[in-house]
Structure 1
């Protein structure tokens, strides 16, 4: 008799400490320990969780907007960096894998941030996957840069399953998801800002549709999906910027089975949503429809993914500085930062 791996998945729905990477990291470590104590093999956080989704995007582009933008870039994290090192230690100490959205600052220019999904291995205590969101949506483009390449489109083999991750409207793009399904993903983390409106405003557009797109991904990919929404209430935003805050993000996280059925959630408030799962359900769903296998038509369609890392400048050379003989730099007289 075949024995299929059975394990538990955790969707962590909680507000970060906005614009405070150190405090957000500390809170994430506590939540990681709580998820591990509940027996989860994988704990997943929402999009841009560390140190928070850019709550000010819908505000007028006045002086307060630009102050918030500057603080947002300053509070982003570098990968690797002290915050991610701390998350790796927490995952290793708890013995649990962690998928978490971070706002990643480009260490080369210090002026661009990406919406990045990290996968941290609990056994290794290390970052094993990093995917930068390929295309920010709508007003997100005013603060996030395009992911520079497809090197992070990977399904990672873990002891319990193959795991992948995308952010928000990457699930609308079709091809990134297909690239992961073609690698046999069995557990997929769909990170969202955390807002599922009941109805569209009059004459408006209903978005982000996180439930619909996450359920579709689960059914098409024949995989479990952790639809993890962020949580943001007005009181969670620093008081100095509350005038810029858009509508509350209510989370609405779900865990979805390989047939697209909701098996846990929607979550309310700060909570950790946990569900027991088995790869037997994945195998059964793929037996019916494996969209990158027996349900594909390679004679008609071909999908090519460029997974090579790219860089704007691979090497920068500068000429030496000419200094007259006998003159040495006097760094003691350099002004101190104010």
Structure 2
């Protein structure tokens, strides 16, 4: 996107909330309500957490694969189709409020019963579905649930709030994925996360989110909007009612952080930790100009004769058929072994 004249200035909103667990319709209804609330506060960009619709597979971390298998089926049945009616509802809400909406969903694969993707939808203010990013590499225990995406969805979208890219949770640690977005001109980065209280004891999820968000903002000299889910008591009751140890773990503090970070790597306003709510901040893309003079890693502060990134944007599917061979000429006697010749030549 060629940015000329006045650069976009707008209000961004980072939603920190829990889904209505494993209920896609109710969670989408909650998302629509939050879109209206944020738009009512003047937000033009509204970011939601990772797989907000209809929730995150915490059983991958707390149960054996065999124990979690029935939960996987339950999540699959609760997931959504893209495109589909739930997406249409979200698109209508974006259009009705004139907002750009970024939201994480569990997406059912259309080519195979049972395939799930960790996807992020980018919806424009006219209701257009601008993009669907599928998480490239599910993180650790997540591989029990999600199929990985491909490079076709690692893209920057041209929106009224500026060139916008998105990555899901742990892939914000992927330096090459982040660099590709920067090299495509990204100035607004949306990162989606989940609350992770069941992480190892020495892992502070809220701190990890802040570090990764600040790093990308500072390296790219851009604005980052980070949205993280929370865990409700309803979710704990659903997943750990008979397991006091897991229930206690799921209430662990400092497991979620949402906020908005500037091109200096600092929060524009105080981030929200653990609690449900919406963080608002004013974004002025003009603030990205001067920091680039010092370190522009996609411009003067790099050596592309020394370093080069190849990004394969080819969509990948389970079948890549070879081109059809040209039909053989129908001459001579019919050959059933090869299918050549003219059957009429054998008629008596």
TM category, shorter: 0.7 to 0.9
Which residue of structure 2 aligns with residue 330 of structure 1?
none
Per mean C-alpha deviation after superposition, the further-off stretch among 303-312 and 241-250 is: 241-250
In the alignment, structure 1 residue 140 sits paired with structure 2 residue 142: yes
In the alignment, structure 1 residue 84 sits paired with structure 2 residue 90: no
Distance 1:289 1:186 in 2: 15
Q: How far 1:241 moved relative to its partner?
A: 5.6
Aligned residues of 1:42 and 1:98 also touching (Cα < 8 A): yes
Which residue of structure 2 aligns with residue 215 of structure 1?
214
Distance 1:296 1:41 in 2: 33
SS in 1 for 2:260: strand
Q: How far 1:54 moved relative to its partner?
A: 1.1
Tell me the C-alpha RMSD between the 2 structures.
Answer: 2.3
Runs of 5+ unmatched residues, structure 2: 323-348
Pairing 1:1-338 to 2, within 5 Å after superposition? 3-61=6-64, 64-123=67-126, 125-147=127-149, 149-195=150-196, 201=201, 204=202, 209-237=208-236, 239=238, 242=241, 243=243, 247-248=250-251, 250-268=255-273, 269-313=275-319
Distance 2:259 2:195 in 1: 11
Distance 2:296 2:197 in 1: 29
Aligned residues of 1:99 and 1:120 also touching (Cα < 8 A): yes
Larger Rg: 2
CA offset digits 1:36-92 (Å, max 9, x no partner):
111111100011111111121122227652221110111111111111111000100
Q: How many residues were matched structurally?
A: 310
Query: Which structure is higher in helix share?
Result: 2
Distance 2:296 2:39 in 1: 32
Per mean C-alpha deviation after superposition, the further-off stretch among 63-72 and 87-96 is: 63-72
CA offset digits 1:20-40 (Å, max 9, x no partner):
001011110111111111111
- Going from structure 1 to structure 2, the CA distance change for 1:276 and 1:51 (only over 3 Å counts) comes to same
SS in 1 for 2:90: helix
- Going from structure 1 to structure 2, the CA distance change for 1:196 and 1:176 (only over 3 Å counts) comes to farther
Q: How far 1:172 moved relative to its partner?
A: 1.4
